[in-house]
A and B are shown apart, each in its own frame.
Chain A
Amino acid sequence: MEYILQPWPWYISGPCIAIVMFILLYFGRTFGMSSNLRTLCAIGGAGKKVAFFKFDWKAQRWNLVVVLGAIVGGFIAHHFLSNPTNINLSQETVSDLNTLGFANAGKSLLPPELFSWENVFSIKGILILIIGGFLVGLGTRYAGGCTSGHAITGLSSLQLPSLIAVIGFFIGGLIMIHLIYPILF
């Protein structure tokens, strides 16, 4: 039990994620979390206006069930299987974050400087969450997949388009953290 409560090392977590991908393939499906965003658009009636959302979303219900399971899994893991819940970040990261104005880096799962309600109700705070989410949603569909579809499934099956997409993910991430963050914070 002690081993479960502690954070899991990368060499346990990584193979577990590959097993998730493999089980879904074995069930005749694919591992792709961002497809659910498209499904949710279709459920909301977007298919009436935009052809891209005109598809049989009911065939995608299994994936929404995976999401439901993931939400419950997140709840269980955070509330019953995590002690401690702090993140053991590298010392450099903690001091870099301090310089940017993030106090207590790693003391919780997410920085309150971005996700606390106090911050969410500030103009800058809400814009960061909205723009960040918007770019993820737009970019993932444009690129035809996200971390699960391209980085895990696509690279595991040695597909060139996924390698290009993952390199794109990193170019975008590096620009954000190294060039845009110093302006934002």
Chain B
Amino acid sequence: MNKYIKFFLVGLFFGIVLVKSEAVSWYRIFEMFKFQSFHMYGIIGSAVTTGIILLLISKKMKLKTIEDQYLKVPKKANGFRRYVLGGIIFGLGWALCGACPGPMYILFGTGVFSILIVIAAAIFGTYMYGVLKDKLPH
């Protein structure tokens, strides 16, 4: 049980940040795709910039994880079609219901229970990927 507490706390912090940043709001996603506010670009841009710096520092300092391994990010497989096609499908859904997977769970916490329909549909979508995997171009 104890080993899970730290993950719970990370999730707790993540949930608070995404609500306070308004990134869980359907309205903010709409506004982003309309290019009418810098807000979401600022969030993603400053997150990536901070992330790049943190990863460079940890590489430089040869930082180790709590499991005593060198800290590193798993490499995504090479490819093109799966990233473009999967990305476009994801983007269509993201803009339609205004929520990507993290915000879906967080919105449930804020008391929007109709989001459970979106979560159930997302689980089904993931299931269908598993079924169709070998037929899709990768």
Chain A residues near B (Cβ < 8 Å): 4, 7-30, 33-34, 36-38, 40-41, 44, 46, 50-53, 61-63, 65-79, 81-82, 87, 89-90, 92-93, 96-97, 105-106, 109-111, 114-117, 120, 126, 128-148, 150-159, 161-162, 164-178, 180
User: Is there contact, CB below 8 Å, between B63 and A133?
Assistant: no
- CB contacts (< 8 Å) of B26 on chain A: these are 109-111, 114-115
Partner of A8, one of B17, B37, B79, B131: B17
Q: A38-B126, A128-B97, A133-B125 are in contact. Are A68 and B114 (CB under 8 A)?
A: no
Report chain B residues within 8 Å CB of A46: 127, 130
Total B residues in contact with A, Cβ cutoff 8 Å? 115
Closest Cβ of chain B to A38, distance in Å, is 6
In the bound complex, residues from chain B placing their C-beta under 8 Å from that of A115 are 26, 112, 114-115
Residues of A within 8 A of B108 (CB): 71, 74
Q: Secondary structure of the B side of the interface?
A: helix
B84 x A176 contact (CB < 8 A): no
- 10 smallest A-B Cβ distances: which pairs? A168-B87, A172-B91, A73-B15, A69-B11, A137-B125, A156-B51, A135-B93, A143-B86, A74-B109, A132-B97
Give every chain A residue within 8 A of B91 (Cβ-Cβ): 139, 168-176
A168 touches B54 (CB 8 A): no
In whole angstroms, what is the CA distance A161 to B86 when docked?
11
A33→B80 CA distance, assembly (Å): 22
> Which residues of A are found within 8 Å of B18, using beta-carbon distances?
13, 17, 70, 73-74
A115 — nearest CB in chain B belongs to which residue? B114
Which among B7, B8, B43, B136 is the interface contact of A13 at CB below 8 angstroms?
B43
Q: Does B75 contact A (CB under 8 A)?
A: yes
Residues in A with CB closer than 8 Å to B99 are 132, 136
Complex Cα spacing A110 to B55, Å? 34
- The interface residues of chain A, by DSSP majority, are classed as helix
A4 to B21, CA, bound (A): 11
CA–CA, A20 and B43, complex, Å: 14
Q: Report chain A residues within 8 Å CB of B21.
A: 7-8, 10, 12-14, 16-17
Cβ-closest chain B residue relative to A91: B36
Instruction: Kindly state whether residue B76 has any CB partner on chain A within 8 Å.
Output: yes
